[in-house]
Amino acid sequence: DAKTTQPNSMESNEEEPVHLPCNHSTISGTDYIHWYRQLPSQGPEYVIHGLTSNVNNRMASLAIAEDRKSSTLILHRATLRDAAVYYCILNAGGTSYGKLTFGQGTILTVHP
């Protein structure tokens, strides 16, 4: 499985934008880039995913590098509720049956 590399932790101030980076240099052409986040003692929550083009939804934006070897999750205005562990995951297409391989993730701290 292709792996991802994320910083262990990041900090932000409330109402400021947050850019969470992810490196995936061994990504294959059929791998989708997924982002999930998890609060303590809760199940992960889907945030966003994409293949090649940048994506926007109500929660965040996903910027994907042209060579697809890295991506950035953008929270446009961080709130205290955005404090969580953020996981960048490659979800292979084809016959992988949507298997998610979680790494350590990035712990995001949001200061009031």
Partner 1 sequence: DGGITQSPKYLFRKEGQNVTLSCEQNLNHDAMYWYRQDPGQGLRLIYYSQIVNDFQKGDIAEGYSVSREKKESFPLTVTSAQKNPTAFYLCASSPRGLGRDEQYFGPGTRLTVT
The residue ranges that bind partner 1 (CB under 8 A) are: 30-32, 34, 36, 41-46, 49, 51, 87, 91-94, 96-105
Q: How far apart are CA 103 and CA 112, in angstroms?
A: 28
Q: How far apart are CA 57 and CA 47, in angstroms?
A: 8
The residue among 12 and 91 lying less far from partner 1, judged by its C-beta, is 91
CB 48 to partner 1: min, Å? 9
Q: Which of 2, 6, 1 is nearest to 88 (CA)?
A: 6
Dihedrals phi, psi of 80, to nearest 5 degrees: -60, -30
Q: Which of 8, 29, 6, 10 is nearest to 18 (CA)?
A: 10
The residue among 18 and 27 lying less far from partner 1, judged by its C-beta, is 27
The residue among 59 and 63 lying less far from partner 1, judged by its C-beta, is 59
The residue among 55 and 74 lying less far from partner 1, judged by its C-beta, is 55
CB 25 to partner 1: min, Å? 19
CB 69 to partner 1: min, Å? 18
Residue with tokens 């990041």, as numbered in its chain: 10
